[in-house]
Chain A
């Protein structure tokens, strides 16, 4: 007899699962327990080069309250049913809304979407996990609060809780998002509710203003992990500056990345340039203005000659450095002189501001991201190869020119071997660089899909062999990346898992932790 479910959790019989589903229905109402193929279709589509069936959920639960979640984990413990938690479910290129393993039940918190507090004086927000950046942006606009968000490129449809918990980044001075997290509420696997930091203290009003609380700092163990379900998330917001000056600096040659990084590092560390600067390769920006088919015929990676033609036709540098100054006009004027003096020394840089680049679609969306506005223009990347295949390769680099050049050359060589283009950028942290490469491929092409998988695997292997760690990865490669960080860290992660979730009901496999 055919199963009534499209998948089952590993090691759970249909009869047992049926009983669990009935209990979920009692908690949430039948309409909020999704089990049919049609209902689950939106959870199954991923951008990874593996069969979507490998990550098909058995069910999805639409919870709206902490109390419901407490009861859900009770049922999960009783029946040994694993759940995969998502907030807005927009982790494109990292697994989207699909679970790490086939048959896990998705706990979808998108409808848990209340903005609980925005304090315009202390500049913080407390939100539920389903709140999107767009929802919060509109709330701030409606209340005329002089506050700015920092959001990742899928801004409008993603949200601060999920992005920060996966340690994502944005492009404003608050771009390293977890640095600006302040206080979480977490439902643990045993149903207890933990408020981190000052939130554990009854009557405390400092939960969102002082991160550390008393005793070991716990917030970090609930990021990129499976130790709890975050149901409230606090974070700091940037006061809107009186003035804002976005700019782009273009360089003509790929090996200019050395000079760029050496110039930027002291400006970033000293705070002259306060935001998460992006050094974007021509092919990262080209999809906002150009079509690949106009420059490439046949299979294989795009040639350097074709890239140069795109640069010429669409006014792009080989590298395009996007940054901004924030503050009063007087502060900006002083810092602008420091910036232009530094970049003008070699004579290689072409410096453009809004005056020259306001109509450029790449500049427009980059400027929007640097002030925390909503834009999805970066999704133009997905049109480059077409076919819906994308994985983010995200090794960390020192903010040192020789290192970034080495990483770029390694990445480009390996991608080229598999016929894939280098669509890369470096996001400048305080002393590091997130080297972000969109491994784009046509998922409707089986041969290219296979090549993309092998390519990504080789990228991870070669980079770890050189001592370069990956900061975040899609669900098909989490075990491999966890392995690169060595046995001791994995053992500690596992020890914590056993202590906090002995039945292994929370997102088994997340970051390679079971």
Chain B
């Protein structure tokens, strides 16, 4: 915030004032809803699989992907780019580390694990 103020022109400073007012108002109305803490984070690859991938790939919507020895690099590419009817998944949803873990999980998993 301080760094920003240093480079903003005058109109931007006016906006900064708005921002500060907004913050103060938020704090004045603080309730339990203000509690800060980390948001949701994936625990491991199997959780990503169960809570995202499995809804299609274990439900005969998408093809079976476990037990095929798919290369992690291939899985990662398809997840990020999508493929025909399969949507792409953003780093905001599945961060790079979790994607690496789920790719490894899918690559090594047996079909009926």
Identify the A interface with B (CB < 8 A).
Answer: 23, 26-27, 34, 38-39, 41-45, 60, 62, 64, 66-67, 70-71, 73-75, 77-78, 88-90, 92, 96-97, 108, 110-114, 116-117, 126, 128, 130-131, 134-135, 138, 156-157, 187, 190-193, 195, 199, 201-205, 232, 361, 374-377, 379-380, 382-383, 386-388, 443-444
Determine the distance from Cα of A315 to Cα of B4 in the docked complex, in whole angstroms.
Answer: 64
Determine the distance from Cα of A199 to Cα of B19 in the docked complex, in whole angstroms.
Answer: 18
What is the 8 Å Cβ interface bit string for chain B, positions 62-103, against chain A (1 contact, 0 not)? 100000000000000000111111111111110000000000
Instruction: Answer whether residue B15 sits at the interface, using C-beta atoms and an 8 A cutoff.
Output: yes
Chain B residues within 8 Å of A193, by CB: 22-23, 25-26
| Option from A62, A70, A74 in Cβ contact (under 8 Å) with B92 | A62
Determine the distance from Cα of A131 to Cα of B33 in the docked complex, in whole angstroms.
Answer: 15
A-B contact pairs, 11 of them (CB 8 A): A41-B88, A71-B1, A73-B15, A77-B15, A78-B9, A157-B52, A192-B21, A193-B22, A195-B29, A375-B55, A388-B85
Are B59 and A89 in touch, CB under 8 angstroms? no
Are B26 and A387 in touch, CB under 8 angstroms? no
A-B contact count (CB 8 A): 153
Residue of A nearest to B39 (CB): A113
Chain B residues within 8 Å of A78, by CB: 8-9, 11-12, 15
Listed from nearest, the 3 A-B pairs whose CB atoms lie closest are A110-B92, A382-B85, A42-B88
Determine the distance from Cα of A56 to Cα of B105 in the docked complex, in whole angstroms.
Answer: 31
Determine the distance from Cα of A82 to Cα of B26 in the docked complex, in whole angstroms.
Answer: 25
- B60 CB to closest chain A CB (Å) equals 8
Known A75-B4, A131-B40, A388-B85; further 15 A-B contacts with Cβ < 8 A: A42-B80, A64-B39, A74-B4, A78-B11, A92-B87, A108-B90, A156-B55, A192-B21, A192-B22, A232-B33, A376-B55, A376-B61, A379-B62, A387-B84, A443-B84
Are A70 and B56 in touch, CB under 8 angstroms? no
Are B90 and A97 in touch, CB under 8 angstroms? yes
Are A45 and B87 in touch, CB under 8 angstroms? yes
Chain A residues within 8 Å of B23, by CB: 67, 70, 193
Binding site of A, secondary structure by majority: helix, strand, loop or mixed? mixed
Are B3 and A26 in touch, CB under 8 angstroms? yes
Q: With A23-B4, A62-B92, A156-B55 as given contacts, are A42 and B22 in contact (CB-CB < 8 Å)?
A: no
Chain B residues within 8 Å of A26, by CB: 3-4
Are A89 and B90 in touch, CB under 8 angstroms? yes
Are B33 and A116 in touch, CB under 8 angstroms? yes
Are A74 and B59 in touch, CB under 8 angstroms? no
Are A376 and B59 in touch, CB under 8 angstroms? yes
Chain A residues within 8 Å of B83, by CB: 388
Instruction: Answer whether residue B113 sits at the interface, using C-beta atoms and an 8 A cutoff.
Output: no
Chain A residues within 8 Å of B86, by CB: 388
Instruction: Answer whether residue B32 sits at the interface, using C-beta atoms and an 8 A cutoff.
Output: yes
Q: With A110-B90, A113-B39, A388-B85 as given contacts, are A203 and B15 in contact (CB-CB < 8 Å)?
A: no
Q: With A70-B23, A388-B85 as given contacts, are A42 and B33 in contact (CB-CB < 8 Å)?
A: no
| Option from B4, B56, B89 in Cβ contact (under 8 Å) with A376 | B56
Are B85 and A77 in touch, CB under 8 angstroms? no
| Option from B33, B61, B85 in Cβ contact (under 8 Å) with A126 | B33
Chain A residues within 8 Å of B55, by CB: 156-157, 374-376
| Option from B1, B18, B19, B40 in Cβ contact (under 8 Å) with A113 | B40
